Structure 1
Amino acid sequence: MITPFDQIVDVRHIASGKSDNIPAMLALAEKEQVRPAALDLKRTLLLAIDVQNDFMESIGSLAVNGSKADVQRLTQWMYRNLGSLTQVMCSLDCHSMMQIFHADCWLDTEGNHPEPFTIIRYADVSDGIWRAVNGHTALALDYLQHLEAEGKKQLCIWPYHCLEGTSGAQLESQFTNMLYFHSAVRQVKPILVYKGQDPNTEMYGIIKAEYDGNKFVNHAVLEAIRAHDAIYIAGEASSHCVLASAVQILEYFEHDRSITSRITLLIDCMSPIAGFEEQTLLQFDALKEKYGIQIKLSTEVNL
């Protein structure tokens, strides 16, 4: 590359709230002479999960410890492999205030909203400890019952995060610089996948919700994965949205080892929510054993 890394990514400004600088990235990209992504014989995909401000240390409402260093390592990996990285797909959480995992949706017997990180179970609602606002208790009970019956994560009341139209919902600025530098140099449009807009369910993974009566499945993402020879996954948080995305993808392709074995987790480009560290690593190891995925440091992967 002609352009030095530090002209694209200023590591001092990762998770600082500083704006991206796309015009400068496009000007820098004009100096590069790299073949278009359309000519790649081996097609590689980076699946970047929720690299958004609200998950960043220092500035995020649902900050993930380690996220700043994750972004630094991820952008360095993208830079080193830019000439061989065919496509980047980014998932973006996109929520409203009135979502089942936000406090505004719930009241206790005294009319108080739950505190962040409160766990609400089926029994809590059926016993009247919590009720859903706007008469949606029956719908909430159905949702909670399905979560428990299917062994899904318990309903957690998260801090308000990634509210549509807010700065917290935006991609982190230095990652965005690298994303669009790659886009301009390789002449390929990044793929942005919005998730989590259904107010009545949680959607950790990029493919489908935790429970959804309509049974929505994002086949466009699955077909993009099928179309690439190697898929690399990074992002936040490894314990929740990264893990759920990986599980959903692997379960869909469970009978095709030729696809599941193409997937690599860039383990040093993701971090878990505090308290889930050991559990997350165990679950990743189980996926490696069952599906043949690879788990590597970004420094170990050269495309």
Structure 2
Amino acid sequence: MKTRYEQIVDVRHIASEKRDHIPSILSLVGQEQILPASTDKKRTLLLAIDIQNDFMESIGSLPVAGSRADVHRLTQWMYNNMASLTQVMCSLDCHSLLQIFHADWWVDKKGNQPKPFTVIRYQDLVDGTWTVFNADTLERSLAYLKNLETEGKKELCIWPYHCLEGSYGGQLESQFANMLYFHSALRQSKPLLVYKGQDPYTEMYGIIKAEYDNNKFVNHAVLEAIRAYDAIYIAGQASSHCVLASAMQILEYFAKDKAITSRITLLIDCMSPIAGFEESTRQAFESLHEKYGIQIKKSTDIIL
């Protein structure tokens, strides 16, 4: 391409408070001769999980160590494969202040809110260690914690306030956004934005479904979109939580169709785990590789 990577992404400003500069980037598209994505014979999808400011080190409320370098490598991979990357789908964590995994939901016997990373279990409500601030939410909160235990899901963790709807923290990281919209304009391929985590009564790590919810919601639109691609590449934050949960949910849905699961590749150098989950994440990914035949590769080893 005539447009240089550095004209799209300013590496110095990855995970910084510098705004994106999409209008100036779009002015560069006219000098390129790449065909639109609709002409691709092999259709490829990048599934970018939660590449948002609040997960970026140095600026986020829930920063993931390594996220800055992950964005650098991912945007470089997108640039190198611009002519072959058909579509980008981005998941976006999106929360309100009053959600079951935020401190405002809970108080202890003295009226104090829990500190970030406090784990609250069903028995904690039964014995009064914690209770809900709003009595109207008690019954559903009890049921949720009980169902987490019964179904062997993650324990409820109180997360720092993050990705609040409409906030800076909930926006796409600026330099990733630059590359995303350069790709969109050049390939004439609208990004697919998938919002998740808006139900106040549940956690939603994965892009497909919540940890538990009474309605058993499954995002079939995303699953059917994935089915339509010949190759699917997954990257984003954090590998230990939202990336892993998304991959597992997708693979479990397509478990009987190895023709689809074998199309999926984790760009392992374009994601990082939350501290303390490094080894468990590595083991989980290896298990997915053995069970479903997914690929685990570095972005530098893949040319589309």
TM-score range, shorter chain: over 0.9
Aligned to 1:92: 92
Q: How does 1:178-197 map to 2 (within 5 A)?
A: 178-197=179-198
Deviation at 1:279, TM superposition (A): 0.3
Q: How does 1:39-188 map to 2 (within 5 A)?
A: 39-135=39-135, 136-188=137-189
Q: Percent identity?
A: 74
Deviation at 1:237, TM superposition (A): 0.2
Aligned to 1:290: 291
User: 1:214-259, CA deviations, whole angstroms, 9 ceiling, x for partnerless residues?
Assistant: 1111111001100000000000000000000000000000000000
Aligned to 2:5: 5
Aligned to 2:236: 235
* SS across alignment from 1:83: coil
Q: How many residues align?
A: 303
Q: Kindly provide the amino acid, as one letter, of the partner of residue 219 in structure 1.
A: H
Aligned to 1:208: 209
Aligned to 1:248: 249
Deviation at 1:30, TM superposition (A): 1.5
Q: Kindly provide the amino acid, as one letter, of the partner of residue 27 in structure 1.
A: S
Deviation at 1:17, TM superposition (A): 1.1
Q: Which runs of 5+ in 2 are unaligned?
A: none
Deviation at 1:120, TM superposition (A): 0.3
* SS across alignment from 2:270: strand
- Partner Cα distance (2:102, 2:183) in 1: 35
- Partner Cα distance (1:197, 1:52) in 2: 16
- Partner Cα distance (2:159, 2:55) in 1: 12
- Partner Cα distance (1:70, 1:175) in 2: 10
Q: Kindly provide the amino acid, as one letter, of the partner of residue 33 in structure 2.
A: Q
- Partner Cα distance (1:150, 1:261) in 2: 28
* SS across alignment from 2:142: helix
- Partner Cα distance (2:18, 2:246) in 1: 29
* SS across alignment from 2:165: coil
Q: Kindly provide the amino acid, as one letter, of the partner of residue 88 in structure 1.
A: V
Deviation at 1:25, TM superposition (A): 1.6
- Partner Cα distance (1:29, 1:144) in 2: 51
Deviation at 1:173, TM superposition (A): 0.1
Deviation at 1:151, TM superposition (A): 1.0
* SS across alignment from 1:268: strand
Q: Kindly provide the amino acid, as one letter, of the partner of residue 213 in structure 2.
A: D
- Partner Cα distance (1:247, 1:180) in 2: 28
User: 1:113-134, CA deviations, whole angstroms, 9 ceiling, x for partnerless residues?
Assistant: 0000000011111111001121
- Partner Cα distance (2:216, 2:28) in 1: 44
Aligned to 1:217: 218
- Partner Cα distance (1:102, 1:197) in 2: 12
- Partner Cα distance (1:214, 1:221) in 2: 18
- Partner Cα distance (1:290, 1:182) in 2: 33
* SS across alignment from 2:28: helix
Deviation at 1:29, TM superposition (A): 1.2
Q: Kindly provide the amino acid, as one letter, of the partner of residue 127 in structure 1.
A: D
Deviation at 1:205, TM superposition (A): 0.3
Q: CA RMSD in A?
A: 0.5
Aligned to 1:33: 33
- Partner Cα distance (1:43, 1:109) in 2: 56
* SS across alignment from 1:30: helix
- Partner Cα distance (1:147, 1:125) in 2: 14
- Partner Cα distance (2:106, 2:16) in 1: 33
- Partner Cα distance (1:71, 1:118) in 2: 29
* SS across alignment from 1:210: coil
Aligned to 2:267: 266
